[in-house]
Structure 1
């Protein structure tokens, strides 16, 4: 077992770059990247860092030189022979050769494109521009770097003994959470915590704790590098990025209304089984399901990532019933801001009504709340999103208006096209 406190105390060691592999990323990014590589390889996109927690003034905490050093390190990475072998030969979701040869040949020769970095009003403006398949792979490493550099800035003033106590307390805190989950019959839960983790070493420790504490109830990790190292299932499907960019490319309102389904039509051609998971909330879950084509009802399930999770699940159950499907055979994946209390509540509420699974993210891999003075390590909401495609702005509405993004005039257009009515705002913690 790694002595994390000692490694943090010596965190300048070259043994601990923040991102240590191109597959130190979420599995769904690689699945989506292959889909984009196949369907829209020439689309030009811009991704940008967005700090929703403006009170966390990153540019005043994180040294610009250190940030550039870590970003430059990521640009030096390429796929190793062992990583390529794992991707080409491993079984994912019961299927071998998930990644096609032409995609793998491209990925094996990839180096991530340049970045643009500047400071403005206490925040970093970090942007990436270029071909969609290349630029999209910056999202997860960029977030992981900023989150861990913020953690290092807080921990930098702590001495060795203080760090030992801090990590001992954090380990005990997580173990208590795991113990509360142990009695839940039929629980299926995975690690979704890469993008806003405290650190790579801490995420790896959390995964090991889940393996020991939950056994078969722990279904895997979204982090491909950790999945490879720990011989775990790599889990994940697709994200809002796809409908946001497909929609930005739509030149008419009619094509805009069809864009979210065009995404899933492309996905349907490539994947089956548990990879056929609908993410319906990009432009409002209720309207998306009401207008959904019948062939989508045969998909395995739905992932709920904004709004009230219980209401989202009820909406999905009603939709399946209205289309003649048996909800007890369908899968609902909860993945938005989860912690132990909410996991237990949702598991009990929907047990026997649908199959449930949980993607436990930030509050698994970055919950140091209450362990430092002024809660200096409390998690915050940092995202890296596609903001334009071929020069046209992207829009996300979400089921929570606090997560909406895009120019005001385009937000109003999208609300009209997708018939989004009043929404209930929910505080965004992570």
Structure 2
């Protein structure tokens, strides 16, 4: 097992790469990329870093030269032979050759496109522009680089024994969480913590701890590199990016209203009926399900990623019943801001009513709260989102208005088109 404290202490090397591989990314990014490569390859998009936690002034913490060095390193990466073999030949979700030969040939020759970086008001403005299949693959590496450089900046003056104690405390905290999770019968939980992790080595340690501590209750990781390295399942389906870009490309209100369903129609065709998980909250869960075509009711389940998770699950249960489906045969994946207390509460409320699963993110792979002065290692909310497509702005409404993004006039238009009324704001922590 890697001595994390020693590695952190030795970050005075010429460069200690944050991102070591193009598959040090979330599995859903590759699944979506293949679909986009097939259906919308010539769409031009802009992705932008968005720090929702303004109190964390990243440009005052992270050295610009070091950031550029890490981003340039990511641009130098290409798919390794073993990684390509794993993607081409492995079985994912029971399906062999999940990734088509034409997509794999393209991916094997890919280098990530250029980036634009500048400082403004104590923050970094980091953007990526180009063809959608290429630019989208910057999202996770960009977040991983920023998050780990922030961790390194906070820890850089700590001595080796201080670091040993820090990581011992973090390990103990996680293990105590795992011991509580052991008490949940028939638990199904996966690591979703790549995008806002403390660091790659720490995420890898967390995955190993979950493997040993939870056994078969731990279903896998969203991180492709760790899944390959640890010989466990790669977990993921799709994200808000797809409906956001499809909606931005819609030329009128009628097409806009249908855009989220066109996404899933293309997804169904792409994956031959596999990976049938609905992410309904991009423009409001209740309205999405109310207007959904009948064929979506037969899908496997939904992922809940904003708003009140219990309320969203109750809406889904009512919808399935109204559609003549048995909710007990449906899967609900909770994935927003989870920690042990919420996992316990949601399991108690919904076990037996639906099949319950959890995607545990930031509070698994980045819970160092209270360990340094000023709580400077506390997790914060950083995202990298598509902000325009073919020159048109993207919009996300979410079930939590504090997660909404886009120009105000477009947000108002989307609310009108999708029938989104008053919403309850919830604090966005991670």
Quickly name the TM-score band, shorter chain normalised. Answer: over 0.9
Is contact 1:243–1:263 with CA below 8 Å preserved after alignment? yes
Is contact 1:227–1:234 with CA below 8 Å preserved after alignment? yes
Q: 1:26-425 residue pairs with structure 2 within 5 A?
A: 26-271=26-271, 275-425=275-425
Q: Deviations over 1:87-141 (max 9, x none)?
A: 0000000000000000000000000000000000000000000000000000000
Is contact 2:21–2:225 with CA below 8 Å preserved after alignment? yes
Is contact 2:268–2:274 with CA below 8 Å preserved after alignment? no
Q: Structure 1 regions of 5+ residues with no counterpart?
A: none
Tell me: CA distance 1:273–1:368, structure 2 relative to 1, closer, same or farther (3 Å). farther
Is contact 2:402–2:426 with CA below 8 Å preserved after alignment? yes
Distance 2:161 2:243 in 1: 48
Distance 2:19 2:306 in 1: 28
Q: Deviations over 1:33-86 (max 9, x none)?
A: 000000000000000000000000000000000000000000000000000000
Distance 2:79 2:271 in 1: 24
Is contact 1:46–1:130 with CA below 8 Å preserved after alignment? yes
Q: Indicate the residue corresponding to 1:3 in structure 2.
A: 3
The structural deviation recorded for 1:14 is 6.2
Distance 1:179 1:155 in 2: 28
Q: Deviations over 1:9-52 (max 9, x none)?
A: 00234684100000000000000000000000000000000000
SS of the aligned residue for 2:185 comes to coil
SS of the aligned residue for 1:275 comes to coil
RMSD (Å), alpha carbons = 0.8
SS of the aligned residue for 2:429 comes to coil
The structural deviation recorded for 1:147 is 0.3
The structural deviation recorded for 1:183 is 1.3
Q: How many residues were matched structurally? A: 430
Distance 1:20 1:294 in 2: 44
Question: TM-score with structure 2 length normalisation?
Answer: 0.99
SS of the aligned residue for 1:60 comes to helix
Q: Structure 2 regions of 5+ residues with no counterpart?
A: none
Is contact 1:273–1:300 with CA below 8 Å preserved after alignment? no
SS of the aligned residue for 2:146 comes to helix
Is contact 2:244–2:395 with CA below 8 Å preserved after alignment? yes
Tell me: CA distance 1:14–1:358, structure 2 relative to 1, closer, same or farther (3 Å). farther
Is contact 1:283–1:418 with CA below 8 Å preserved after alignment? yes
